[in-house]
Amino acid sequence: MISYVIADVFADEALRGNPVAVFLDADDIPGERMQRIAREMNLSETTFVLRAERGGDARIRIFTPVTELPFAGHPTLGTAIVLGAGSGSDEMVLETGKGPVPVRFERGHGGVIREATMRQPIPTWEPYPHAEQLLAALGVGKSTTPVIAYRNGPRHVYVGMPDVDALSALRPDLGALGELEDIGANCFAGDGASWRLRMFAPAYGVAEDPATGSAAGPLALHLARCGLVPYGTRVEIGQGVEIGRASTMYARVVGSDSAVERIEVAGSAVVVARGEFLAAR
């Protein structure tokens, strides 16, 4: 038996945003069992909290229903908020498969965490070699920006849409998307500091994600690299509207085209359930 918490991440009220299940004190659970538990929970991600190994506050392992990820955004931020709620600290370092992720907390009345900001791994990027196949699977004639793949753990590919109405009208062929291995297909629209995002990832076991923190940082970088947003601008990214799980993320990239110094993604979370999992071991 092991305790777990479910938190709705990138939302400031329950039953919005992206839920994550956080299993506490999970050192004795084998990795194969973790994967089966994640499949049982059937959320886009489930995390398992373990003792730190490299000087952080805790180590986490992250699983989708079908695979383990070295890093993902909403489960990392959600786990930090769950752990930070009982710590009283203003900062925390979580060890992930992509290295340490520092998180700082902004607290309100009574020490309640109002917002958490994580410093994400800086991604690598390259032109996506199967752009035509991706656009066909999405039902999109062309992208308003170059179709670039960024990897900070998951591999996110970005397709620009002409406006939010066109973004909301998307009805992708999920079967065709599933044939494209190891990608989250991210379609976006907006302008200035306000953007909307939809992310389809059948290859990761997720048809459409309500809030993708690991995609928010690279999206902000993509916008800056394409000249759509100045470096240093904090952008607001809405997601999940079309599937009834509205979420809000904030992202900021510090640096320049020649030297990306820092990528930050911020948001809030609400704990919606606590329980005991009887078949953890």
| Residues involved in catalysis | 45
Q: For residue 45, list its beta bridge partners.
A: 20
Q: Give residues with Cβ within 8 angstroms of 280, minimum separation 6.
A: 1, 2, 23, 26, 29, 33, 37
Q: For 123-132, b where at least 16 C-beta lie within 10 A, e where not — what string?
A: bebeebebbe
- Are the beta carbons of 34 and 47 closer than 8 angstroms? no
Task: Cite the beta strand spans of the chain per DSSP E.
Answer: 2-9, 18-23, 45-50, 58-63, 68-69, 91-96, 99-107, 113-119, 124-127, 148-151, 155-160, 184-191, 194-201, 206-209, 235-239, 247-255, 260-267, 269-277
